[in-house]
């Protein structure tokens, strides 16, 4: 009986750990989040005027980017809500008496929705990239990777 309880606890910890790891935004989702202003003021955005200003975009480019954002805004919001709801359901399933297969099914559903969200965000990135000139693309890429390296520093080197 003790082994069964320990096994269930181990599965729950692994499932929750995997969910948390998947919930961590990727490079592309961070970039798209940076595209979608929120009510939260970001200090570096306030200082620099945002990534749009840094790229010296024309009014036509700004309009095109706004259109790209608006086209997927609803879909991104819906997928994000589905993920939050699914994670809560997964939490409840893990805490309950549901079978391992049902917990795994819920986990896979969440994983699928996260992939769909990442795909949408990536398509936005590609669409925005298409309207930028080579110099703007360079700045755009540098900003994306610079931001990613601050948020996900490389692991420390292991000394043998």
Q: Which regions of the chain are under pLDDT 50?
A: 1-12, 15-16, 18-49
51-148: which CATH topology? 1.20.120
- The pTM of the whole model exceeds 0.85: no
Whole-number pLDDT of residue 52 = 73
HEC sequence for the chain: CHHHHHHHHHHHHHHHHHHHHHHCCCHHHHHHHHHCCCCCCCHHHHHHCHHHHHCCCCHHHHHHHHHHHHHHHHHHHHHHHHHHHHHHHHHHHHHCCCCHHHHHHHHHHHHHHHHHHHHHHHHHHHHHHHHCCHHHHHHHHHHHHHHHHHHCCCCCCCCC
Domain locations in the chain as residue ranges: 51-148
């Amino acid at each position: 009986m003790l082994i069964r309880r320990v096994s269930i606890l181990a599965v729950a910890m692994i499932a929750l750990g995997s969910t948390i790891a998947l919930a961590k935004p990727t490079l592309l989702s961070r970039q798209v989040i940076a595209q979608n202003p929120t009510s939260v003021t970001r200090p570096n955005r306030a200082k620099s005027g945002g990534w749009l200003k840094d790229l010296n975009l024309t009014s036509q480019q700004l309009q095109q980017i706004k259109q790209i954002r608006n086209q997927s805004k609803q879909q991104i919001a819906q997928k994000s809500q589905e993920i939050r709801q699914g994670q809560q359901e997964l939490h409840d399933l893990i805490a309950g008496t549901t079978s391992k297969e049902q917990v795994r099914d819920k986990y896979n559903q969440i994983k699928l929705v996260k992939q769909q969200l990442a795909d949408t965000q990536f398509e936005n990135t590609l669409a925005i990239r298409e309207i930028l000139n080579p110099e703007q693309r360079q700045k755009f890429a540098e900003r994306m990777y610079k931001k990613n390296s601050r948020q996900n520093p490389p692991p420390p080197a292991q000394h043998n």
